[in-house]
Structure 1
Amino acid sequence: MATAEHLKSLIKAHIEHDDERFKTVVLQIAAYEAKLGHETLARELKQYAGKVCTSKGNIFRFNQQNSMLLMTLPSDRLADLVVSKELLERIERILDEYRNRYRLEKYGLSNRRKILIEGKPGTGKTFTASVIASELNLPLYTVQMDKVVTKFMGETSTKLRQVFDSVATSTGVYFFDEFDAIGADRNLDNEVGEARRILNSFLQFIEQDISESIIIAATNNSKLLDQALFRRFDDVLHYSIPSEDEICRLFDLKLKSFNTNYCISHVLVEHAIGLSHAEIIHVCDDAIKDAILRNGVINDRLLAKFIDDRRSAYSTKDA
């Protein structure tokens, strides 16, 4: 049956007329019951959750208790995440350990739930956080860094404490994007005393955290981060520009729903080398929209045109 914390959360959500929160707790209970082998009950609870409110899918909503958090209920699946085999295995391990965290606890072990993701923009860091939340039936709380980091001394640390209070009381996946804003190396010459205090506060909060939430921090450059951060995370995932195989899989994944007969050529794959995951997805979306609006078809020439458009967008950019 539901835990005492689940029941308290349900009652609180009902009193505050927070339908989104109520639905989230019901889904958490369903996931809990499924892990106990109560599949029928879990299925019924999920059906009830679907009737709680009319909004569904990726609807963004600020947490009513904490405006620094933007909550979504993602529906992305692991099968849609195109990464290397090694990365996929490590993400599957994170999911497997979370689902079996109570078994691990019996042996005095804890599951991986503090994750650092490093990689160039557009390589799938944010999408990974969304996939992990969706696969575990958890809400995704994106930390609004512009609301956390302020110019007033001591205020950022206070706001970080409020974020970690939510981590402890509202189970979910908490995503810190652009993490360098609070995790920059304390030894950098341009780092002032307040920045060091912010990082020290984060180190303290993440080390003390023993909740069931998953914490994911993402950065475009791990070299900017303080070395003390790395031992606070259970796993570090390094993302890179897609390989030729990943490029093929991305094109296939995005185009097969629109044109099942199209088969990407090796020449086009080579032409796309160097683009990020996000840029290739944009190329596919542009090609699909063009084919729809012009009653045309998707072919190598059309895709090559949009690949060139993507490249030209950066060709005049000064470093």
Structure 2
Amino acid sequence: MSNTKQILSMLRSRAEGDEDQFLAIALQVAAAEARQGRRTNAELLRAAVEDVRRGGGDKPSVRVALAQPRGDLEGLLDLREPNIRLPQVVLADSVRARLDGVVLQQSRRSWLREGNRVPSRRLLFAGPPGSGKTMTAEALAGELRLPFLVVRLEALITRFMGETSAKLRLVFDETIRRRGVYLFDEFDAVGGKRAATNDVGEMRRVLNSFLQFMEEPASTDSIILAATNHPELLDPALQRRFDDVLLFEMPSPDEIREVIRNHLRPMKYPRISWDRVAEAGRGLSQAELARAADEAAKAALLSERDTIRTDDLLKQLAARHQMRDIFRGDQEAAR
């Protein structure tokens, strides 16, 4: 039978609303039963825990504080409530499979800890602008029903000696205190190569601090997620710190169709020439495709139509390419 301390701990965690801790203790009891040869009891306990988790619906698996960061963290972390889940994001099969693995490990993290293992929680997203990295980070938080906190690099990085590392310390302390998904966007600003010729001593110290903080254990298993458009600029030492590196690429023809369909709903589109649309959307990011679909839908509504035509989409996709050409021309003129 369970000892008094375990029963008290379960009652205490239940009273505090910490369901994750409650279930973790139940699994510890199951493990103790198994070690003592009472495997039937152990299996019954494990099955009961699974029933509780499956019956949880959309309730968070852990107690989550949704208050905005205060004090020294105010301005450093931007709390965003995730509005999407992973099935709503168009992803390459390989990326989706690896993210599904992260979700499984995180959802059964108490099982892993029971076997002296920890779930994957340090991820690097690499890929061109608009390929869906930030959207996927938000969807991962939504899938795990965790707060989504974006680190504001403009507030983190300062010109004063030692201040950036101190602020970085505050962020990592928060990951230990509050379970969530923490995104370092445009991560090459922090994780650039220490041997870069334009580097300064302060940024080398910041990177060293980041590497050190990444190694610290965290019982909350918060996900530390870095995203970069330029993985070639990152310091090689970071490769060993991340549990997985996921490469995001520009949408394939099938993904172009899926992104546009997702953003046309609930409009009708019975006779779209998808081959022409896919060709017109080649080279555009997910964000640009989504905006093109949205603009096509708005144009149809203003014309008092509830149906999207092929020409509606072709026109808006061409406009997105023109915008790219304008920015490309400005960049070339600046050189």
- TM-score normalised by L of structure 2: 0.79
Aligned residue identity for 2:244: D
Letter in 1 for 2:70: Q
**Cα pair distance change 1:117/1:38, threshold 3 Å:** same
Which residue of structure 1 lines up, in the alignment, with residue 69 of structure 2? 63
Structure-2 change in CA distance of 1:151 and 1:136 (3 Å): same
Question: Is the counterpart of residue 232 in structure 1 residue 231 in structure 2?
Answer: no
- 1:253 aligned partner: 262
**d(CA) in 2 for partners of 1:260, 1:205:** 51
Seen in structure 2, the aligned counterparts of structure 1 residues 265 and 43 have a Cα distance that, compared at 3 Å, is: closer
User: Which residue number in structure 1 is paired with residue 132 of structure 2?
Assistant: 124
Q: 1:227 to 1:62 in 2, by over 3 A?
A: same
CA 1:298/1:171 → structure 2, altered by over 3 Å: closer, same or farther? Answer: same
Ranges in structure 1 where 5+ consecutive residues have no aligned partner: 11-24, 53-59
Q: Are 2:195 and 1:187 equivalent residues in the alignment?
A: yes
| Residue-by-residue CA offset, 1:43-82 (whole Å, 9 max, x unaligned) | 5967xx9xx9xxxxxxx97412421111122120211110
What residue in structure 2 maps to residue 102 of structure 1?
110
| Alignment map for 1:53-202 (pairs within 5 Å) | 62-65=68-71, 66-67=73-74, 68-202=76-210
Asked if the contact 2:271/2:310 (under 8 Å) is kept, the reply is no
Matches of 1:195 and 1:44, distance apart in 2: 42
- Provide the residue aligned with 1:38 in structure 2: 52
Q: Supply the distance in 1 between the matched residues of 2:58 and 2:138 (Cα, whole angstroms).
A: 24
Of residues 294, 297, 300 in structure 1, which corresponds to 2:303? 294
Whether contact under 8 Å (2:194, 2:204) holds in the other structure is yes
SS at match of 2:120: coil
2:35 is matched with none
Contact kept? 2:14, 2:22, Cα under 8 Å? no
Q: Is the 8 A contact 1:30 1:42 kept in 2?
A: no
Q: Is the 8 A contact 2:81 2:147 kept in 1?
A: yes
- Count of matched residue positions in the alignment of Structure 1 and Structure 2: 291
Deviation at 1:40, TM superposition (A): 8.9
Instruction: Measure the CA separation in 2 of the matches of 1:220 and 1:44.
Output: 33
Does the 8 A contact of 1:141 with 1:172 survive in 2? yes
Q: Write the letter of the residue equivalent to 1:63.
A: P
Tell me the SS of whatever aligns to 1:70.
strand
Question: Is residue 220 from structure 1 mapped to residue 234 from structure 2 by the alignment?
Answer: no
SS in structure 1 at match of 2:215: helix
1:42 deviates by 3.7
SS at match of 2:324: helix
More displaced 10-residue stretch of structure 1: 229-238 or 285-294? 285-294
Q: Which residue of 1 aligns with 2:280?
A: 271
How far apart, CA to CA, are the structure 1 residues paired with 2:268 and 2:67? 34
Mean Cα displacement is larger for which, 203-212 or 169-178? 203-212
Which residue type is aligned with residue 153 of structure 1?
A: M
212-221 or 288-297, larger mean C-alpha shift: 288-297
Q: 2:324 aligns with which of 310, 314, 319?
A: 314
**Native 8 Å contact 1:207 1:232 kept in 2:** yes
1:206 corresponds to which of 198, 209, 214: 214
Larger radius of gyration: 2
- The one-character-per-residue Cα deviations of 1:212-245 (angstroms, maximum 9, x if unpaired) are 1011000001001000011100000000100111
Structure 1 residues 147 and 137: alpha-carbon distance in aligned structure 2, compared to 1, 3 A threshold: same
